[in-house]
Amino acid sequence: MRLPRTPSGWTIAVFGLLAFLLGVLGLVSPGTLLGMLGFEVIENRAPGDYTLVYMAASSMAAVNMGVYYMLAAAVDFRPFFLWTVPFRLVTFTVFTTLVVTGAAPAKFFGVGLWEGVGALITGAALWWERNRVPAGRAA
């Protein structure tokens, strides 16, 4: 796989790698990931409790998403980079709202923060790349 060629590509690649690794962690050790997110880890689940199935599904989605992001960074698919910014800001808003309303534990805010800060960093990198003066040209 090719390394990213731009700062915005690096932001996407790093996010993708982290999503991939956390997705693998959720598949291998869902309790560990639940604990990291601030959710109670229950050893003996009641019949009809599909928490672990949901963890497997969302972790697999994170693995896939991580691969998509890394592939997009490898080929410098800049339209994809731009598309991620508003959608990650929506994710930040939804996850933060879950914490503020008490539907999710406070530690879960870290996921929202990760999305929001990552979106802003990618957006800033894209803005910088678009507005920078090419080498060799006077300002």
Q: Does residue 43 fall inside a structural domain?
A: yes
Q: Does residue 31 fall inside a structural domain?
A: yes
**DSSP-derived secondary structure for the chain:** -PPP-SHHHHHHHHHHHHHHHHHHHHHH-HHHHHHHTTPPP-SSPPTT--HHHHHHHHHHHHHHHHHHHHHHHHTT-HHHHHHHHHHHHHHHHHHHHHHHTTSS-GGGHHHHHHHHHHHHHHHHHHHHHHHSPPTTS--
Cβ neighbours of residue 100 under 8 Å, at least 6 residues apart? none
Q: Does residue 106 fall inside a structural domain?
A: yes
Q: Tell me the pLDDT of the chain (139 aa) as tens digits.
A: 789 999 999 999 999 999 999 999 999 999 999 999 888 888 888 889 898 899 999 999 999 999 999 999 999 999 999 999 999 999 999 999 999 999 999 999 999 999 999 999 999 999 999 998 566 555 5
CA distance 119 to 11: 9
pLDDT the model gives residue 135: 61
User: In total, how many domains does the chain have?
Assistant: 1
Q: Does residue 138 fall inside a structural domain?
A: no
Q: Does residue 134 fall inside a structural domain?
A: no
**In the numeric block, which tokens belong to residue 73?**
């960074």
Domain that holds residue 35: 7-129
